[in-house]
Amino acid sequence: MQIDMQDQARPVTAEVTDMGQVLPLAQPRRGVTLPLWLRAVARNRKATLGVIILALFALVALAAPVIAPGDPTDFVDRPHLAPSAAHLLGTTGQGQDVFTQTVWGSRPTLAVGLLVGIATTIVGIVVGLSAGYFGGGVDDLLSLVTNVFLIVPSLPLLVVLAAFLGSGNFAFFILVLTITGWAWPARIMRSQTLSLREKDFVAAARVGGESGPRIILTEILPNMLSIVVASFLGSTVFAIGALTALEFLGLGNPSIISWGTNLYWASNNAGLLTGAWWTFVPAGACIALVAFAFALVNYAIDEITNPRLRAQGEVAAASKRRRKSAPSTRATPVVRHAS
């Protein structure tokens, strides 16, 4: 690595660099100290922006009754009114307040997203870690099932599941989204487990006579926390997107206010084609912002835990500080046209 470790302006570099990959230093874990990579995330600008956006949305969802008092399904004015002081984001094709609907719509959308994120991550951990750690027949079987679920396209599967078994309640959506979404986390965690189980500290625990489940839970899992967090974020985005698509197609419960059903009604009432863009834009923009915020955090985690991406970033930052351009080649520059 080409950066100057003596650089006093950035005393943390060595610490961050030492922490290495997702992979562990076999250090005893101390009390409540955050893992190093998590502290590095907190210092990352992209991650900070993502967390701020998410915190804002969480606040809006929690404080919905304060921000937009009243029942979002109430008919308050004439249909398709443009945004004004009385109705900040105008009214829908049925005369409901778009702002109120957007604020209240965050609740079910975010709740389903988070719950599915948690559920898929747990299933992914159980399947991925068992497959990776035990290997052999267990791995063959679990990997096979995982790959089948990965290859079957999720949206058509969701559509038939929702059409046949759907009752429109959210518990059902959480269930089917978990069924279609767990395979990707499982696959990632399996491959991470495969590389971790070869490490010396796992071998040491095995020789020390610890049981399989205990090794998985206390030795392997804590050392792949960044992967767990990343797959949780990814699954949450998947769930929000899939739920919205299902609701947009009309497979949700149209009487519940969520971002997806808002879009469903906007398109059913020809919101865009009559020029009432305000019925369509807010919900879509909110979904995009939330997904973008999750993606930013994920991108930052990738940047921080992948030593090669990080090293390059540090080189660029260091050369920027010294007002020199980054080296244009990866090795010693070659004189090509010596006269």
In the three-class reduction of DSSP (H, G, I as helix; E, B as strand; rest coil), residue 80 is classed as coil
- Sketch the per residue contact string, 283 through 302, with another protein: x for CB under 8 A, - otherwise: -x--xxxxxx--xx--x--x
Could you give the CA distance from residue 304 to residue 40 in angstroms, rounded to a whole number? Answer: 7
Q: Which span (36-44, 78-86, 161-169, 213-221) binds another protein, by CB under 8 A?
A: 161-169
163 to 182, contacts with another protein by CB under 8 A?
163-165
Q: Give me the half-sphere count of Cα atoms (radius 13 Å) on the Cβ side of residue 335.
A: 3
Could you give the CA distance from residue 74 to residue 185 in angstroms, rounded to a whole number? Answer: 41
Q: Which residue has the tokens 């955090």?
A: 297
- Sketch the per residue contact string, 225 through 264, with another protein: x for CB under 8 A, - otherwise: ------------x---x--xx--xxxx-----------x-
Closest CA to 9 of 322, 306, 323, 312: 322
Q: Which span (32-40, 102-110, 121-129, 305-313) binds another protein, by CB under 8 A?
A: 305-313
Residue number with CB closer to another protein (112 or 202): 112
Q: How far is the CB of 314 from another protein (least distance, A)?
A: 11
| Contact indicator for 116, 177 with CB cutoff of 8 Å | yes
DSSP string across 145-161:
HHHHHHHS-HHHHHHHH
Q: How far is the CB of 105 from another protein (least distance, A)?
A: 14
Residue 288's CB is within 10 A of a number of other CB atoms, namely 10
Residue number with CB closer to another protein (78 or 330): 330
- Decide if residue 312 touches another protein (CB under 8 A): yes
DSSP alpha helix (H) spans, 152-224: 154-165, 170-181, 183-196, 200-207, 212-215
Q: Which residues pair with 97 in a beta bridge?
A: 91
- Decide if residue 48 touches another protein (CB under 8 A): no
- Decide if residue 161 touches another protein (CB under 8 A): yes
- Sketch the per residue contact string, 94 through 133, with another protein: x for CB under 8 A, - otherwise: ----------------------------------------
Residue number with CB closer to another protein (142 or 296): 296
For 20, 26, 180, 298, the CA distances from 23, given in Å and listed in that order, are 7, 9, 29, 18
Of 26, 59, 141, 150, the one binding another protein (CB under 8 A) is: 150
| Contact indicator for 41, 301 with CB cutoff of 8 Å | yes
Closest CA to 93 of 108, 75, 107: 75
Q: How far is the CB of 283 from another protein (least distance, A)?
A: 8
- Decide if residue 277 touches another protein (CB under 8 A): yes
Q: How far is the CB of 269 from another protein (least distance, A)?
A: 13
Q: How far is the CB of 106 from another protein (least distance, A)?
A: 15
**CB burial readout 226-239, b (16+ within 10 A) else e:** bbbbbbbbbbbbbb
Q: Which residues pair with 91 in a beta bridge?
A: 97
Residue number with CB closer to another protein (165 or 204): 165
Q: How far is the CB of 277 from another protein (least distance, A)?
A: 7
Q: How many residues bind another protein (CB under 8 A)?
A: 58
Residue number with CB closer to another protein (232 or 248): 248
The backbone torsions φ and ψ at residue 53, rounded to the nearest 5 degrees and listed phi first, read: -60, -45
What the block records as the tokens of 330 is 């990866």
Binding site for another protein (CB under 8 A): 46, 144, 147-148, 150-157, 159-161, 163-165, 237, 241, 244-245, 248-251, 263, 267, 272-273, 277, 280, 284, 287-292, 295-296, 299, 302, 306, 308-309, 312, 315-316, 320, 326, 328-332, 334, 336
